[in-house]
């Protein structure tokens, strides 16, 4: 039986990472936004619909039509890059990733139980606290040699002190012929790239905005990751745990839906809305609306084998009942 993990922004939120609405509020405080009435108005206009990523998509489209708008594109992309830098620096400053010190209740050993980790996050929380500051081989008693970013080559930072750090390194895609998944390694697939990845031409390799699938197809390594996600969920006899993903990306939802409907994928959700997450996204369930069921609601009804509404600091803190409920995911 395969056990796969998918992480969204709500996962990093447990250690202080920002959700999309909080990124919007961060951007409002940046001088580049405050001093540009058009950008500021665009962010406010798109926030109720598709958030700051919708605003970024609009600026990208404007630039494609009129290169004279390059200044706005550079400004918005620049403050988003600075947001990741600030968030990553905060993660680097966390002294204790765990919520308590009992080995059997720690987050890191829990993460090692998955055959593969997929994430939509572009921050460096796991690189720093799971890979750089944790001995995966020791925790798994040699079952795993460590973690792997398939298809990526690491370029260490200039500072010798951080020479072995994944989080402080720069990563560039390998040639397609060198893409492989190492035996006894836990593959870590960053489906939308990462804040410390660079494309071969030196530009940032992270996918944001409203045209993610189109952007993914421009980067061979991300397309391979997307195919890995689809293939692993479609193997049959597979369980998927989802932590902190709000089901806002259509291309991700499509893969999950197909695997549930056609291959019997089973899902466990950790989210503040728990099993009500799909219903909370159905606009027809608002007051005075004619209720029309959605495909996502059907996916939940078919596939859900459990859910938790608790924070990770509760589950992996002192909530024994909830911890044991989450651990049932790994049973038959």
Least reliable range by pLDDT among 44-58, 187-201, 203-217, 284-298: 284-298
Domain ranges of the chain: 2-17+98-330, 20-92
- Confidence bin at 190 (pLDDT 50/70/90): very high
Asked if residue 103 has pLDDT above 80, the reply is no
What is the rounded distance in angstroms from the CA atom of residue 252 to the CA atom of residue 234? 13
pLDDT for position 323: 94
CATH class of the structural domain 2-17+98-330: alpha beta
pLDDT of residue 290: 67
Q: What is the pLDDT of residue 318?
A: 86
What's the predicted TM-score (pTM) here? 0.94
**Sign of the CA dihedral with 257 first, then 307, 7, and 179 last:** negative
C-beta of residue 238 within 8 angstroms of C-beta of residue 263: yes
CB contact at 8 A, 233 and 263: yes
Give me the residue label for tokens 């950790």.
270
CA dihedral 322, 123, 234, 151 (to 10 degrees): -140
What whole-number distance in Å separates Cα of residue 140 and Cα of residue 292? 47
Whether 150 shows a pLDDT value over 70: the answer reads yes
Residue 2 and residue 233 in contact, taking contact as beta carbons nearer than 8 Å: no
Higher per-residue pLDDT: 282 or 111: 111
More confident residue, 37 or 103: 37
- pLDDT tens by residue, 56-66: 989 988 888 98
Per residue in 262-301, pLDDT (tens digit) is 999 999 999 999 999 998 888 877 776 767 778 999 999 9
| pLDDT on residue 161 | 87
Residue 168: predicted pLDDT: 96
> Who wins on pLDDT, 236 or 114?
114
Write out pLDDT tens, residues 14-32: 999 999 999 999 999 999 9
The mean pLDDT value for 218-239 works out to 96
Mean pLDDT of the chain: 93
């Amino acid at each position: 039986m395969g056990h796969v993990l998918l992480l969204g922004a709500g996962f990093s939120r447990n250690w202080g990472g920002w959700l999309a609405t909080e990124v919007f509020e961060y951007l409002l405080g940046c001088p580049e936004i405050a001093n540009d009435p058009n950008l500021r108005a665009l962010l406010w206009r798109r926030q109720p619909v598709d958030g700051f990523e919708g605003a970024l998509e609009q600026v990208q489209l404007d630039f494609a039509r009129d290169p004279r708008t390059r200044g706005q594109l550079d400004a918005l992309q620049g403050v988003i890059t600075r947001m990741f830098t600030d968030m990553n620096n905060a993660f680097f400053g966390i002294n204790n990733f765990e919520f308590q010190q009992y080995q059997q209740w720690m987050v890191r050993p829990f993460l090692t139980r998955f055959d593969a980790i997929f994430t939509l996050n572009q921050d460096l929380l796991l690189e720093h606290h799971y890979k750089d500051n944790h001995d995966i081989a020791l925790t798994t008693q040699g079952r795993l040699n460590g973690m792997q970013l398939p298809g990526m080559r690491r370029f260490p930072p200039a500072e010798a002190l951080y020479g072995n750090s994944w989080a402080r390194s720069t990563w560039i895609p390998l040639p397609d012929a060198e893409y492989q998944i190492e035996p006894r390694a836990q593959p870590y697939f960053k489906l939308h790239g990462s804040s410390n990845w660079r494309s071969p031409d030196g530009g940032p390799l992270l996918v944001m905005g409203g045209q993610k699938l189109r952007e993914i197809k421009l980067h061979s390594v991300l397309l391979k990751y997307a195919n890995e996600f689809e293939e692993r969920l479609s193997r049959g006899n597979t369980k998927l745990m989802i932590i902190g993903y709000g089901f806002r990306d259509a291309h991700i939802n499509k893969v999950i839906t197909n695997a549930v409907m056609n291959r019997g994928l089973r899902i466990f959700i950790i989210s503040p809305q728990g099993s009500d997450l799909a219903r909370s996204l159905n606009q027809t369930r608002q007051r005075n609306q004619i209720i029309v069921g959605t495909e996502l609601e059907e996916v939940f009804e078919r596939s859900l084998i459990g859910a938790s509404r608790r924070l990770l600091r509760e589950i992996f803190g002192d909530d024994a009942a909830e911890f044991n409920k989450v651990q049932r995911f790994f049973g038959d």
